[in-house]
Structure formats: structure tokens, C-alpha cells
Structure 1
């Protein structure tokens, strides 16, 4: 298992999914069997700022992290878009990455998710 620290900074230029008013986005972070959520940003619309840090584990650097950007609704939350990060990319740059991930929905670009991720345990290059 590897320990990672992920900071969800902000999302920009997101697809608008709310018909009335502004959307209330949050981010679901998933690695293997671990799921964490940011707080909901009420009425943030297409741009939201979190700056929230999460410690998560993954089975190894061969895995990935999935970020689902969701719109909080009273009945059922809706998907704004998804961003993915291959953990091999983090290992390849020494265990630290500050990046804007493209947010994709229905095969279309739907904005960016700015994240910072760092390896918390030792040397990331020694794990497959």
C-alpha cells in the first residue's frame, strides 16, 4: 500500500448542469476501495474553490485516482464530469505533482480540476 496526500484546489470552467440557479459542486475522490468527498460549494456555478487535503491509500503506483465532480441535488446528485490521474505519472516526476486535470463528460471537455498530489511514504520510484 502507498500513502498519498491529495489536495483538491479548484475546478474551473465546469459544465453547467443546473437548470434553475447555480450548481453546487463537490468532488468525489476514489482510489481502489477508498472514497472521500470534498465539501459542497453552494451556488458556486462553473467555478469552485476547495483547497481541501485528503490522505488516501492505494495498492501501488500502477493504479489511478478518479475524481468525479458532482452537483449536489435534493433528490439525486448529478455528474458534472470526471477527471483521472495515473499514479505512474506521479512516480515518474518524483512523487509530487501540481496539475490541472481535464474534466470529461460524454467524451467532451467540461473544464479543469486543479489538484496537488504527493507521495507520503518514501521513494515513489521503487514501487511498480
Structure 2
């Protein structure tokens, strides 16, 4: 069964009772959030200690992903220490439209629970966003930024190339391939050089092109 695509607003509110590894000062926690191939980072809660507060929201383009992994780290001058790991699901939010969870945090080595993270979720299916933007373009521009032409498109790997050409798709156009946000590329990044993309059903995803809170996992 195909899961409906859409946009998930993920708010990392706060954590409580985390394990502290700093003996002489309060730790400075931040979170790294992974959803499929997308990675996001919160700001650092300076001096947050065992009970940091972030209240940071990420608008995440979702296709068939249903699970999230979370790393909580302590920002240091040298290497950032891993405080704990957590994971949670979008299932309830996708079913009823929203959800709030207290997600258990586990220590990386002992796997013992040490605290939790409070997470709030709000789900907006693409069919709703598309309908709203078509009926209220000024509302869409005010809430999501840019014109319809500047807003992000999804590419769903479904249609054969003949349908792609019939739809008038330009392979070199600066669109989005897969679930992440990429700059202009001649083909989807998951394909080796020379392969032809078996893709293309386009759906507008009303989010600004600039994703300032998106990071590359290799830069952690």
C-alpha cells in the first residue's frame, strides 16, 4: 500500500533528565534529526545541561518515510560527544493529523534509557497543500515563500521515460530528485553516471528553496 506524501512539521521542544558528561560545566546539547535521506540540525542549547530547550520546527518533505532517528550531542571545543539516541514514528500524525510524543533517549553504549525528548508533529498531505495553493495563491506565497515556479517540485520514480518526454520534462531543469533538497543536477543522485532516470510525476511541495536548517550528514 502506497503511503500518501506530504509535509511534516516536526517540532523538537525540549529534553529532560539527559545524561550529563560534563563534570565542571553544563553541557550544550543539540539534536541531529534524520528522515530518510534528509538530515537536519537544531541550534545548540548553550548551558542547557540535562534539560535543554530548543522549540525548533522543521518542515520536512515526506514521501514514504515513516520513522525518524535522533542523535543528541554535546557541543564541545573538540569532538562533540554523543549524549544519546532516540527514534519515533509518524504513524499517528499521518492518521489523525497531529501528534505529541515523549520519546525515550537511550545511552549509546549501555542502551539504558536516560531521559526523553518532547516532540510535536503536524501533518499536511500534498493534496491539501496543492488545493490550497491553487485556490489561494497569495496565502501560499505568504506562508511558504516564492512564486509557484520557484517552489519545490518532487520527482517520484514511477513513470517510464516515454511518459517523461510526453510530459515535456527537461532532464536538466533545476528540480528536486528524491526526498532531499538538491541543486541542479543532470540526473537523480542515486543513479550512476549514464543511467536514465525512470522518473517523473511532479507534485509541488510548498517550501522555500533555501533550506537553512538542512545539513549534510558528513559535516556533523
TM category (shorter chain) comes to 0.7 to 0.9
Alpha-carbon RMSD across the aligned residues, in angstroms, is: 1.7
Superposed counterparts of 1:1-80, under 5 Å: 1-61=5-65, 63-80=66-83
The aligned residue for residue 104 of structure 1 is: 106
Query: TM (normalized to structure 2)?
Result: 0.51
- Point out where structure 2 has 5 or more consecutive residues left out of the alignment: 128-220
Q: Output the CA distance in 1 between the equivalents of 2:124 and 2:94.
A: 12
Q: Output the CA distance in 2 between the equivalents of 1:4 and 1:83.
A: 18
Deviations, residues 36-95 of structure 1 (Å, cap 9, x unaligned): 11110111110011111111123315x311111111011111111111112224334x13
- The Cα shift of 1:120 comes to 1.8
Q: Secondary structure at the match of 2:125?
A: coil
Q: Output the CA distance in 2 between the equivalents of 1:66 and 1:26.
A: 14
The aligned residue for residue 86 of structure 1 is: 89
Q: Which runs of 4+ in 1 moved over 3 A?
A: none
Q: Secondary structure at the match of 1:120?
A: strand
- Point out where structure 1 has 5 or more consecutive residues left out of the alignment: 124-128
Bigger proportion of residues as helix: 2
Q: Output the CA distance in 2 between the equivalents of 1:86 and 1:99.
A: 9
Bigger proportion of residues as strand: 1
- The Cα shift of 1:2 comes to 3.1
Query: TM (normalized to structure 1)?
Result: 0.85
1:118 is aligned, of 122, 137, 148, to 122
* Number of equivalences: 121
- The Cα shift of 1:14 comes to 0.4
Higher Cα radius of gyration: 2
Q: Output the CA distance in 2 between the equivalents of 1:65 and 1:86.
A: 6
